[in-house]
Amino acid sequence: MARMKIATFNVNGITARLPRLLEWLAESAPDVACLQELKTSDETFPVQALADAGYGAIWHGQKGFNGVAVLARGTQPLERRRGLPGDPDDSHSRYLEAQVGDVIVGALYLPNGNPQPGPKFDYKLKWMERLYEHATTLVDLDAPVVLAGDYNVVPTDALRDIYSTKGWQNDALLQPESREAFARLLGLGFTDALAALHGDAAIYTYWDYFRQRWERNAGLRIDHLLLNAPAAARLKAAEVDRFIRGREKPSDHAPVWVELG
């Protein structure tokens, strides 16, 4: 089986970050890239710029916020699902599933949930329950499955997941209910790729724009790639492309990727 590099990147506005995105695609050359927080409509998605960079794309846009996409280098991703089942009235563009080669990828942008408690946190937990139910249909497939995206969950209080919990205690990303829902996904049989290969090392994926958090490496690990057993059996590497976060006008997230052998 051919090696495949699969990445996730919350671009925090694809129009504003297009130069950084194109730089990263050229330098890191992922075979598959799952993007979140496009903040653009379907009509204004930069499909031609991505095609010029060598990537086929499918996308699920939403003007001003949310939005997910799957890019594939040198080929066209085959769409499997648009949106999670379980709530036909949910208008948020947060989930897009595709097949690229023999691998199934789910690009997801999980709700932030703040402020909590309240309706936004309730929506987050309901969305996570819908994700869990859908994941039960994917975890036992013979094909490799990668659920990649911004989960908006800090899995633990450990240094590997957060620089410090001071000031974050009431944030939806750290609440016991959020963490329990994330742990339930892992309990189905998914592997957290970064944690599996980096152990207790601090390997953050998000640094807020404020209070010099990038300069101080005051980060959080909230972007995750979860692998079912066939994908985990092929896991060779998992890294964060930190260099993109340090460039001019960056996203507050860095791309995260795995390599399957």
- Residues labelled catalytic: 109, 150
Q: Tell me whether residue 7 is exposed, middle or buried, using C-beta atoms within 10 angstroms of its C-beta: 0 to 12, 13 to 18, 19 or more.
A: buried
Pairing state between β 78-82 and 95-100: antiparallel
Instruction: Return the structure tokens found at 12.
Output: 């925090």
Contact 197, 252 (CB under 8 A): no
Instruction: Return the structure tokens found at 44.
Output: 């204004």
Other Cβ atoms within 10 Å of 193 Cβ, number? 26
Other Cβ atoms within 10 Å of 132 Cβ, number? 16
Q: Extract the runs of DSSP E, i.e. beta strands, from the chain.
A: 4-10, 32-36, 55-60, 68-73, 78-82, 95-100, 103-109, 145-150, 191-192, 223-227, 235-240, 256-260
Query: Residue 186: CA atoms inside 13 Å, Cβ hemisphere, count?
Result: 17
Cα 95 off chain centre by: 10
Give the three-state DSSP class for 29.
coil
